[in-house]
Each structure stands twice: as C-alpha cells, then as structure tokens.
Structure 1
C-alpha cells in the first residue's frame, strides 16, 4: 500500500528546530488569503536597550519588502520605541516603492520614529491597546554607560535646566558631570536639526498619504505631534481617540473584532518568542524571516 502526504520542503530536523517560524508564516499566509493584503512584520523588543530603529535595520527590512509584488496592498505590523529618523526615512522609501495602499497596524506601541513611519500610511489600524507618540527623534547621547539613545528634546531640556541652575550663581551640581561629558556644540546642533528633520518628514509623508496634496493640514498635524507643550513626555500615549482628534486617518477595531483578534494572536506569538529568545528585533513575511 502506498503512503502519501504533503511534506515541508525543509529537512525534518531543520523544520522541527524552526517550527515556530513556520507556524507564524503559515498563519500570515492564511491572514493574507482572508484579507487580500500582503503582511509584513517589524517587531522590536521594547524592553531591550538596543531596540531603536537604526540603519542596520535597512538590510533585513529590504529582504521582507523584496517578497512583495509591485503595487501591493500591504499591512505593516509595527512595534518600535522609535530611533533614527533618517533610517526610518529609508525604510519608508523602500516600502512605498512596492506599495499601492499601505496600512500600518499598531498592536501596542509605535513611538517617535515609528510614529513617523505610521504617518506614511494611507491609514493606521488601532485598537484599545494601541498607542502612537510624539515625533521627537531619539539621538545617540554619551552616558557613563556608553552611547545610548535618548529623546533629542529631553536632552535639550536637560541642558536648559542645568543652564538655569548655574546661571543663578550656584556651583555646578557634580551629578551633572557625567551628563555633560562629551557634550559639544555639534551635538546640540544635531539635536535641533533632528527635531526639524522629523517635522519635515511628517509633513512630506502626510501630504503623500492621509492629507494628499494638503500641505497646510499636514503641517498642522506635524506641528502638534512635535509640540512639547502639548506632549511634554517622550512616552506620552496618543491613543486611537487622540490620534483621530489630531486628524489622522485611524481605522479603529474593537479588541473583540475578528480581524483585530487575528492580528493580536500573531503579535503575541512574536511577543513570547522575543522574550524567550532574548531577541532584539524580528523582520518577517510569509516567505522571509530575519531575527537580530
């Protein structure tokens, strides 16, 4: 009697070792069939100190984008604390080169430069767990623990606080010395220019997507998202209601909605996997997968 059943292309041991990845990719393929849209995943481990958007992300992101046909309708499942706006710009250009309609899906947090990426979308899918943030960029700042990413505006605010205290005739607090080591005029200028660059990117992408050819409306939203009086904290939560009030095109789904539940189930697979394997970021599609 002959025995026939479909087998994976990979060898048995290799498939068993990477079974979680193949399970996720099969789930992605089933979702793509149901939605008629291609799905790309960029998930960063928010608790990892090296999770910021960097230029090193460009190559793996390009790998998953390469799996798209031209003029694809795309859902980008995005979670990131933000990072380098220049790197974010390249990620967006890479993605838009093959995209007809872009929807960014935010399961939990897309902050700072990740919010910038979301502004390039035609719409943003959010639920009750979702949050965007102000678009103040993060820059590499010298600290006693080496170079670390900090919000540019928070860094400038810290300098201003030290300046005010010292101007009153008080001696410099020794606690500020580690903060001031390595700080020079070039770094301060870079912070100011990074903030302005983020605003320009926001206007550029909003004019292309949610506010087509309406630069005035795009500029108004960009100014609000970069307003430190309105959003004084880098981690400020901009939920779906606040994002809608700002004028962004938000596709709200209740947590019980079947489509949102499918995306949430996919997201939790990455959440658990990243914690178990101490991963920093994962880039994945139905055919490609890179974890760093």
Structure 2
C-alpha cells in the first residue's frame, strides 16, 4: 500500500486522469473500501481535521455528528458489525453518550474501534465502548477526565480541597487562598463533581457490558487509570498501546495483519491529505463512499 508521499502522487495522477472528479475523494474512498474488503465488516471512518485546523470550530464531537452516522449507516448490512476508524480530539460528553447509544442500537455492541493515530478524551470514551480496540505502535488514546472551561474538573476540586485543609491548619493563609479560589463559583464546583460522576459511570457501564463482560474489578482498574487526573497529569497526555494492554483493555495489534495495517494507514494518509488540501473539518464516511462532510467557513476576499 502507498505511503504518505505515494498517496500524494496517486492523487495527482488521479487528477490528471479524471479532471472532473475530486481526486481526494476517489483515492480516500478506494482505500477505505479496501479496509472493509479485508475485514468483511462494515467500516465507517470518523475523522476530525483538528490537527490541520486547530483554531477552526466544528472539529470536536458534537450533536451534529449523529446525523452523519445516520447517513453512513443507512442501507448497510448491520449483521456484519461495525469497524469504526477514529481520529478525533474528543468533545461534548452528552453528544458522546448519545452517539454511543445510537451505535449500540444499530449494532448491538458488535463494534470494533480502529485507532490509526490519536483518539483523545471523548474519542477515548467511544473507543472504550467497543468490544475491542485495534491499535498500532503509533496509536494513542487519552485521559477521559472531564474538562470545563479548559480546566480539569478533578484538578479544580483538588485545589479547593487543598485550600480548605491549608486554611484549617493555617488560618493566616486564607487571604492567599481567597485570591485563588475566588475564581470558582460554588455552582461551578458542583458541576465539576457531577461531570466526573457522569463520565465515569457512563464509561464504567460501557466497559462492563461489552469489552470487559461483567468483570467489575477490571473495569474499575481501567477507570482508575484513564479518569484519574493525578495519574495522567494532563488531559492531553498520549496513552500508548502498551499502557492500554497493561491496564486490561482488549487490544488487537494492528501489526498482526499486514494487509489491514497497510490499508488502515493508507486510508489515514488519504484523510490527512483531504484536510490539508480542502476546507473540510470533519468527515464521517462509510466504505461505500457515502459521506457526511463538514467544512469551515471560507474566508471572504477583501476588496
């Protein structure tokens, strides 16, 4: 299968051969189709262009995505299960919960997630809802501790707890802590606590009912690792395939099937080229070429 540079060359050749057809779509769909042919399963790619367009709105998981999945799933033979290729920075927890519920209703938990490069935050939550995750040596998941306003909810609660303990031991520190914790409204603290409880219970239930099949001890170990801000230190931390295996996730090595690895990585390159060369910010596309494509607002030329 072609590498990064060879995919560029193939796109250029396709443009010369068929100037009236978008070569990016042609090449991308060709290799996405090849993934399905190898696995014998339905394949949907859920791709975000956040790496290429970090400041553009629409790259995160949101409620509009369900419409894209409805389009992509329509007319597929659902008895074949679903391989979901994920590349996303994450996004809204409520939208994530709704999306997984919808995928479960369509595929009865026969869902496998493939991570060619990165699936972070809410993207990791989606991966943890699957029966197994296919990862390569280059693949990463991320922490699932919820964030509010760019702040880790657990870090906010920990800071507030530390303030109370310090003031109790040393009342003179109250004035110092007042400056720090005054930025936290009581309602915000409650919202942080609820977000942590919600996200952890949601992922716990998915793991217990699918990947871990009732093994609550294994589920709790996974939650304690992925949702613990004290362990992960940063919401942007990249968790390797080895760490995922060590904590108890059901991980399939992408390298074990050379044909599948080639097809997945070439498909990944094709999606990256699409984001680099168009205004696309998100693509939800099935192996038959049916796609929901969201584009950024194009800049207006100044006069």
TM-score scaled to structure 2, two decimals?
A: 0.77
- Aligned equivalents of 1:21, 1:248: Cα separation in 2: 34
Closer/same/farther in 2, CA of residues 190 and 171 from structure 1, 3 Å limit: closer
- Aligned equivalents of 2:193, 2:19: Cα separation in 1: 50
1:186 is paired with a residue whose SS is helix
Q: Indicate which of 111, 120, 123 corresponds to 2:132.
A: 123
- Aligned equivalents of 1:218, 1:235: Cα separation in 2: 22
Closer/same/farther in 2, CA of residues 221 and 22 from structure 1, 3 Å limit: same
Closer/same/farther in 2, CA of residues 151 and 45 from structure 1, 3 Å limit: farther
Match of 1:7 in 2: none
CA drift at 1:15:
8.5
Match of 1:288 in 2: 290
Structure 2 unaligned segments of length 5 or more: list them.
1-17, 295-303
**CA-atom RMSD, angstroms?**
2.9
Q: C-alpha deviations, 1:47-94, integer Å up to 9, x for none?
A: 324322122222222221224323332111101111212111111111
Match of 2:254 in 1: 253
Match of 1:11 in 2: none
CA drift at 1:119:
0.8
Residues 92 and 117, structure 1, Cα contact 8 Å, conserved in 2: yes
Closer/same/farther in 2, CA of residues 110 and 151 from structure 1, 3 Å limit: farther
Closer/same/farther in 2, CA of residues 68 and 151 from structure 1, 3 Å limit: farther
Q: C-alpha deviations, 1:18-51, integer Å up to 9, x for none?
A: 3422332233223322220111011112332432
Match of 1:8 in 2: none
Residues 31 and 263, structure 2, Cα contact 8 Å, conserved in 1: no
Match of 2:264 in 1: 263
Q: Judge which range, 110-119 or 211-220, deviates more.
A: 211-220
Structure 1 unaligned segments of length 5 or more: list them.
1-13, 142-148
Select the structure that is richer in helix.
Answer: 2
What aligned pairs does 1:32-51 form with structure 2 within 5 A after superposition?
32-47=36-51, 48-49=54-55, 50=57, 51=59
TM-score scaled to structure 1, two decimals?
A: 0.80
- Aligned equivalents of 2:69, 2:161: Cα separation in 1: 38
